[in-house]
Structures are given as C-alpha cells and as structure tokens.
C-alpha cells in the first residue's frame, strides 16, 4: 500500500509495558501490558479517532507516541524520522511539531500563571517568537481560538470549563504543531460547549492543516470528527479502518457491542442491544488466546487458545478476529 499522500505519523508494533512487580534484585517479573502491538499510519491533514473503554490503553498509546513515556518495543515514525530512538536533545527540536490537549481542563492549567504566560511560555522557550513580538503573537493565537484579548492577564480560575479547554488548545497551537493528540478533549464539558469545541477543532484543522489523533470514549463524537477509526481493547487494536467502512460494515464483535451500547436520543428506537457481560479483564494477566473471548458472544474453541492475527479483511479495513480467518 504505497500512497502518494504524505504519511505524517506511522506507528509499527508499538508496545508499552509497565513493570508492576520485580524480584529482590530489581528484575521485572510481572508486566502490565498497557499497549500491546498497535500499528497504524496517519496521513497529513487527517483525523484518527481512537475509541475504547477506560483502561484499554488509548491514553497510554497517545502519550507513548509523543514520547512522554519511553517505548518498550516498536517504532514511531514522524515525518520520516524514528522518534522513539533519536536522542533526547534532538527530539526536543521535534517537540513543537507534536502537541497534546489533555482531558481535564481543570487540572492541566497552572493556577499561578496568567493565560498569556501559559500560552506563550513554550513558544518563547522554543524560540518561535522573540520577547518583542511575544504579546502580539500570543494575542494572535488567542484570537484564533476564540479567546478575548483582555483574557491575557487573567488566571485560569476565572474561566469556565469550555474557556479553559480553549486555553489548552491555544497552548498547543501556539507552537505551530503539525500533529495534535487530543486526549478526550470534550468529555469533561457540557453538550452545548462540546459542540463549540468540536466545531473549533474542525475549523482549525481546515485552516492550519492539522493532523489529529482524537482519543475519546464517545463514539458519536469520534464519528463526527474522524476520517479513520481505531477500536482498542485491552491494549490491542481490534479493528481499524476508514470511518465509512467501520460504521457501515462493522466486523469485530467488540466493536458491534460498543456501537450498540450508545444510547440514541429517540424514544421510538428500541434497539436490539448486544449487552456485554462482565467487566474488562485486568491487563496484568489478560486472558489466553483472544483477549475478548471472555465477553464475546461468538466465542469459539479456537478463540480460547490462539490469539487472532491482526490483518486486512478488506482493503484498508483491519480486524483481529477468528471469525474472519
């Protein structure tokens, strides 16, 4: 699959294990496999939506791609450079190109810095702007994100959740990034504010040609904003493909259950729901074979012993399930 389009981000067999138990001498004996073999490639200007239940490793994946966590195994290619192996000092030069928007706008802003300082600090640090033009530069970014100029000297506690999230977005965009990883940017917000932020993110993408990795547990939001969708379960990607394909032709039983669980705002629709039994198993000792077999309604004998291959079922539509062998 060679595209003439520019691939901005490519992730190959990414793994991130956390050590939970060691021997007396510090040799790790037990791992929490937060991200276990995830691969995808993302074109410039597109949006990849990552969905899954809490604890499935979607946030860890986002952070590992940005090298906020060290990679255990696998490769992350960004603009033709392998970011997981280059030295820290060189990587710091790449950092402005990859930014992150965090989930909780109440916890991710320093309460002791003014809005202007929060947004401008990193731009100054990376020498994108000098001290003389600093104020104009920050005001420009603020205007782009729908923040009034007189907010410049205010502190975060004076703002509502939606405004704070705008500040977080402005902070990320002040570095003129190409890739923005949005880690549940709207899940802490009200419905009407959610719509404002989502519209703004889409608008900015069109204006600045941004590429997003949009992590969320809200399927309707992911469907609205993404071009491609990846579904994660217990650290692995179980289904991946373009939005149209995934929503029109859902393959993996987990994705089917996830889609049918979304409540529809229409009292006449009585869905025949696939309700999953039980909870997500512990990632410290995941089930043998297919990780989903404990909750799957199509579980076969083979699922309990052999882990399914992650492969292309139809063009551009990947799935890891024995039903499609």
Partner 1 sequence: MADKNKSHYITAKELRRIAKENINATKAFEKRKKRKNVESEYVTQMKDPANIVEFEDLHTYFYTDAGVVKAVNGVSFSIPAGSTVGVVGESGCGKSVTSLSLMQLVQGPTGQIVSGSIRFRTKAFRRDEKGNKIPVYEMTEENGELVVKKDAKGKPVHKKNELGGNLYETDEKVYDIAKMPTEAMRSIRGREISMIFQEPMTSLNPVFTIGNQLNEVAFLHIEGISKQDAKARSIEMLKLVGIADPEGVYKKYPHELSGGMRQRVMIAMSLLCNPRLIIADEPTTALDVTIQAQILDLLRDIKGKINGSIMLITHDLGVVAEMADFVVVMYAGKIIEMGTAEDIFDNPLHPYTIGLQKSKPTVDGEVESLYCIPGFVPNPIDMPDYCYFRDRCEKCKKECAGEYPRLVKVSDTHSVSCYLYKEGNAND
Among 196, 204, 205, 317, the residue binding partner 1 under the rule CB under 8 A is 196
Candidates 259, 287, 307, 323; binder of partner 1 (CB under 8 A) is 259
7 near partner 1 (CB under 8 A): no
* Among the listed residues 81, 199, 285, 288, the single contact to partner 1 using CB under 8 A: 199
With CA atoms as reference, report the closest residue to 255 among 116, 115, 52, 92: 52
Task: Please tell me whether residue 285 binds partner 1 under the rule CB under 8 A.
Answer: no
Q: 318 φ, ψ to 5°?
A: -100, 150
Residue 285 and residue 231 in contact, taking contact as beta carbons nearer than 8 Å? no
Q: Which range, of 84-92, 101-109, 197-205, 297-305, touches partner 1 by CB under 8 A?
A: 197-205
Interface pattern 58-77 for partner 1 (x via CB under 8 A): --------------------
Nearest to 256, CA basis, from 268, 272, 244, 269: 272
Q: Based on the shown chain and the rule CB under 8 A, indicate whether residue 112 belongs to the binding site for partner 1.
A: no
- Give strand pairing partners of 233: 236
The smaller minimum CB distance to partner 1, of residues 244 and 325, is found at 244
Taken in order 79, 97, 38, 82, is the CA torsion positive or negative?
Answer: positive
Q: Binding to partner 1 by residue 284, rule CB under 8 A?
A: no
d(CA 324, CA 308): 9
Determine if 192 is a binding residue for partner 1 (CB under 8 A). Answer: yes
Among 124, 261, 299, 323, binds partner 1 (CB under 8 A): 261
Residue 114 contacts partner 1 per CB under 8 A? no
Residue ranges in 30-182 assigned as alpha helix (H): 58-65, 88-94, 115-125, 134-144, 161-173
Name the residue among 314, 219, 201, 303 with its Cα closest to residue 258.
219
Q: Does 191 bind partner 1 (CB under 8 A)?
A: yes
> Phi, psi at residue 208, to the nearest 5°?
-105, 0
Q: Which is nearer to partner 1, 12 or 154 (CB)?
A: 154
Neighbour count for residue 35 (Cβ, 10 Å): 31
Name the residues that contact partner 1, by CB under 8 A: 53-54, 160, 162, 190-196, 198-199, 202, 217-221, 223-224, 247, 257-269, 273, 275-276, 279-280
């Amino acid at each position: 699959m060679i595209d003439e389009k520019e691939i901005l981000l490519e992730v190959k067999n990414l793994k991130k294990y956390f050590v939970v138990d060691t021997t007396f001498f510090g040799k790790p004996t037990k791992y929490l496999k937060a991200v276990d073999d995830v691969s995808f490639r993302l074109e410039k200007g597109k949006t990849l939506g990552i969905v899954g239940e809490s604890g499935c490793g979607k946030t860890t994946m986002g952070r590992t791609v940005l090298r906020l966590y060290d990679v255990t195994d696998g490769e992350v290619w960004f603009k033709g450079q392998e970011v997981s192996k280059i030295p820290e000092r060189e990587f710091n030069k790449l950092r402005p190109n990859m930014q992150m928007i965090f989930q909780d706008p109440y916890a991710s802003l320093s309460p002791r810095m003014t809005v202007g300082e929060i947004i401008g600090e990193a731009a100054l640090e990376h020498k994108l702007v000098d001290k003389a033009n600093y104020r104009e530069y920050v005001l420009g970014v603020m205007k782009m994100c729908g923040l009034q100029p007189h907010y410049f000297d205010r502190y975060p506690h004076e703002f509502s959740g939606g405004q704070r999230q705008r500040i977080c977005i402005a902070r990320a965009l002040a570095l003129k990034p190409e890739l923005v990883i949005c880690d549940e940017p709207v899940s802490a917000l009200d419905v009407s504010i959610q719509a404002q932020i989502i519209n703004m993110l889409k608008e900015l993408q069109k204006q600045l040609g941004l590429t997003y990795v949009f992590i969320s547990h809200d399927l309707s939001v992911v469907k609205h904003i993404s071009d491609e969708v990846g579904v994660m379960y217990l650290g692995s990607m179980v289904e991946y493909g373009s939005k149209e394909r995934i929503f029109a032709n859902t393959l993996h039983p987990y994705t089917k259950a996830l889609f049918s669980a979304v409540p529809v705002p229409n009292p006449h629709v009585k869905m025949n729901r696939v309700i999953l039994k039980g909870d997500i198993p512990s990632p410290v000792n995941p089930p043998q074979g297919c990780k989903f077999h404990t909750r799957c309604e199509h579980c076969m004998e083979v699922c309990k012993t052999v882990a399914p291959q992650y492969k292309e079922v139809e063009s551009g539509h990947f799935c890891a399930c024995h039903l499609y062998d």
